[in-house]
Chain A
Amino acid sequence: DGGITQSPKYLFRKEGQNVTLSCEQNLNHDAMYWYRQDPGQGLRLIYYSQIVNDFQKGDIAEGYSVSREKKESFPLTVTSAQKNPTAFYLCASISRERNSPLHFGNGTRLTVT
């Protein structure tokens, strides 16, 4: 079955450490997205990529970095510069058809102490 795999499901880190969240899709989608979800704040866009080797900042990119070396993969690094990294992170992808819905992974819950 096609889908988006995010790993790990839960991640714990000490403050000051960088951490990378994995996102892999086998839907052959060109565009991929990273969202952050905090209680009562909905989804906020961190970064997105519409094609391999290209990506753009979203609304809250500070303290995060991404790469898009392969079509299937869009890892997100949460750096020590992110002031409040504890959150639920969602990866999504979409096909080129304009009326297609976003497909989401099951998320990674990151806790930084």
Chain B
Amino acid sequence: AQSVAQPEDQVNVAEGNPLTVKCTYSVSGNPYLFWYVQYPNRGLQFLLKYITGDNLVKGSYGFEAEFNKSQTSFHLKKPSALVSDSALYFCAVRDPGAGSYQLTFGKGTKLSVIP
């Protein structure tokens, strides 16, 4: 079975400071990992994914994420936070070896960027 944990319900960061949103995962094989962002009353928007290769993945809006196999983590990062980054962030995992297209989502982390 696959699972995802986002240990922080909320992250507060000052505008211009670096931000990190944490994610750890559990799968039996090699994971496909995804980050999504959700603004109020909207659907989820895809930010970035890790499939294979370089452990540092770059995505939309200046976000990046680092895959760490030994720590089973996939933390989302941005060097300089913007107020407009304030939203709900979801990490998700898929185990391609399980033969399923299903994603398992974390419970989400609310990011608040303070002006």
Contact with A along B31-62 (1 / 0, CB 8 A): 01010100001111110010100000000000
Q: Which residue of A lies closest to B34 (CB)?
A: A101
CB distance from A11 to the nearest CB of B (A): 13
Chain A residue numbers with a CB within 8 Å of B46 are 101-103
A104–B105 CA distance with the chains assembled, in angstroms: 14
A20 at the interface (CB under 8 A from B): no
Q: Which residue of A lies closest to B49 (CB)?
A: A101
Task: Find out whether the CB atom of B43 lies under 8 angstroms from the CB atom of A90.
Answer: yes
Of the residues A40, A42, A104, contact of B43 by C-beta under 8 Å: A104
A99 beta carbon closer than 8 Å to chain B: yes
Chain B interface, number of residues (Cβ within 8 angstroms): 23
Question: Complex: how many Å from CA A94 to CA B100?
Answer: 12
Question: Within the assembled complex, what's the spacing in Å between the Cα atoms of A92 and B94?
Answer: 15
Which residues between 87 and 113 of chain A lie within 8 Å of chain B, taking CB atoms?
88, 90, 92, 94, 98-99, 101-107, 109
Q: Are B45 and A109 in contact (CB under 8 A)?
A: no
- Asked whether A42 lies within 8 Å of B107 as measured between CB atoms, the reply is yes
Q: Which residues of B contact A45 (CB under 8 A)?
A: 102
Interface string of A36-50 (1 = CB under 8 A from B): 000011110100101
- A31 interface residue per 8 A CB criterion: yes
Count of A residues near B, CB < 8 Å? 26
Give the chain A neighbours of B43 by CB distance below 8 A.
Answer: 4, 6, 90, 92, 104-107
* 29 A-B residue pairs with CB within 8 Å: A6-B43, A31-B101, A33-B102, A40-B108, A42-B105, A42-B106, A43-B44, A43-B90, A43-B105, A48-B102, A50-B101, A90-B44, A92-B43, A92-B44, A98-B101, A99-B32, A101-B34, A101-B46, A102-B34, A102-B44, A102-B46, A102-B92, A104-B43, A104-B44, A104-B45, A105-B43, A106-B42, A107-B42, A107-B43
On A, residues with C-beta under 8 Å from B are: 4, 6, 9, 31, 33, 40-43, 45, 48, 50, 88, 90, 92, 94, 98-99, 101-107, 109
